[in-house]
Amino acid sequence: MGLKSKIKKIIPARLISFYHLFLAFLAGVFYRWPTKKMITVGITGTKGKTSAANFIWSVLNSNGIKAGIIGTAQIRIGDVEIPNKYHMTMPGRFVLQKYLKKMADAGCEYCVIETTSQGLAQWRHFGIFYDIAIFTNLTPEHLESHGGFENYKKSKGKLFSSLARGGQKTIGGKKIEKTIIANFDSPHKNYFLDFPADKKITYGLIGGDFAARDVKNTAGDLEFFIGPEKYDLNVLGRFNVYNALPAIIVGSLAGLPYDKIKSGLEKLKTIPGRMEKIDAGQNFYVFVDYAHERASMSAALDAAREIAETGARVIAVIGSEGGGRDKIKRSDLGEIAAKKADIVVITATDPYEEDPKKICEEIAAAAERFGKVRGENLYIIEDRRKAIAEAISFAGRNDIILVTGMGAQQSMIVGEKHIRWDDRIVVREELEKLKN
């Protein structure tokens, strides 16, 4: 355990909470509350936040409505993209407010903020005046840090309780209505819809105000209908329909017609680290995805299997964070990968102070319980680069490699050190070696 973790254990939780709140207040004062000048969209949920944020940005920005993003993969200010190097979806309060001010100064009309449960628990949302709150979904994650699933859900609820307290803005002579957008298909939707708001809008595949149907997923694109209107996405994975629906709603609220929204969705070709295709001319497919818990891993492997040609294999590179973070999901990841991938390569993913071999063995034990055999279709390679290289060596024509767990993260945490790392760069470097 590092010094920082030891200090946290001896300081009362209330004092730590006050410290976070005080920092957020100071940051807001210092940067003069920039979100008062923009329509501010907060997205929370276990998964889908980054993809939903990028779809919203694309719909708005490609139609002349300048927008910014602060999220896991990147920070966008209009067309300018900056990798998120902070290893946190919501950076520290001063960094957060600094970038929000840059957005306001650059003339952004909208800002979209991936708003995490941990960020909310640490008051990073304080001083951000939200107008639209989006709930994507809720599955167990970060339960140890929150003290259980109900506390995890309540932490996310803080975004929605802050919606009304922020007061109504008038921007460009127009009053901005407080709006909740929620996934109709989630069993937890009513909790988030019960918070006060001027408008409440739902979406889903099963039902909702914006209900998608006739979803068709191919290796090239994804299509679906809402009523008679057809939409096309240039990103893979059936789950991305859920991620695109909030963008359709936000675009509609912004007054954009169907054809403009459709065009805006189609213009988004890549979401950093989300089923991101890496092509170096090889005769098989490689995708990098952030999937790091049961639901997202299952969805990513389902997407890979759905687009796989007859006879093609799915090769999964998986791992799980250390430092006591959601240890229970290690067996979940091993189980899902064993069931849905033909070959599983287990490796290090942000081990923190924990022994990476121990983490890998816990995942492997679950994979073995569900039929995988070491040395045949199950491999443990602690060195992440070597693991990726080994997965590439297994691939034949039309096979699909899915490298999961880190997505577009810019570093790996080993002990208390941040080691520069980007799965996409490493994959590309290893693929280039095939040409030599």
Question: pLDDT of 346-382, one tens digit each?
Answer: 999 999 999 999 999 999 999 999 999 999 999 999 9
Number of H helices, E strands in the chain: 15, 22
CA neighbor of 133 nearest in space, from 172, 105, 166:
166
Tell me whether residue 290 is in a domain.
yes
Interval 309-341: pLDDT, tens: 999 999 999 999 997 667 889 999 999 999 999
Residue 125 covered by a domain: yes
Our count of domains for the chain comes to: 2
> Among the three residues 244, 266, 288, which one is the final residue of a domain in this structure?
266
Q: What mean pLDDT is predicted for residues 203-218?
A: 93
Percent over 90 (pLDDT), the chain: 78
Q: How confident is the model at residue 243 (pLDDT cuts 50, 70, 90)?
A: very high
- Residues contacting 194, CB < 8 A, separation 6+: none
Domain around 162: 8-266
* pLDDT number for residue 416: 84
Report the pLDDT value the prediction gives residue 12, as an integer from 0 to 100: 76
Identify the domain boundary among 214, 237, 266: 266
Residue 80 has pLDDT above 90, yes or no: yes
For residue 264, pLDDT over 70 is answered with: yes
What average pLDDT is seen over the chain? 92
State mean pLDDT over 15-21: 88
Residue 1 lies in a domain: no
Q: Helix %, strand %, coil % for the chain, to 5?
A: 40, 20, 40
Rounded to the nearest 10 degrees, the angle between the axes of helix 258-266 and helix 49-61 is 120
- 256 lies in the same domain as 294: no
C-alpha angle 273-274-277 in degrees, rounded to nearest 5 = 80
Top-confidence residue, 14 or 178: 178
Whether 255 and 108 share a structural domain:
yes
Quick one: which of 240, 427, 429 has its CA closest to 315? Answer: 427
- 358: domain CATH number is 3.90.190.20
Is the same domain home to 99 and 172?
Answer: yes
DSSP 226: E
Whole-number pLDDT of residue 435:
80
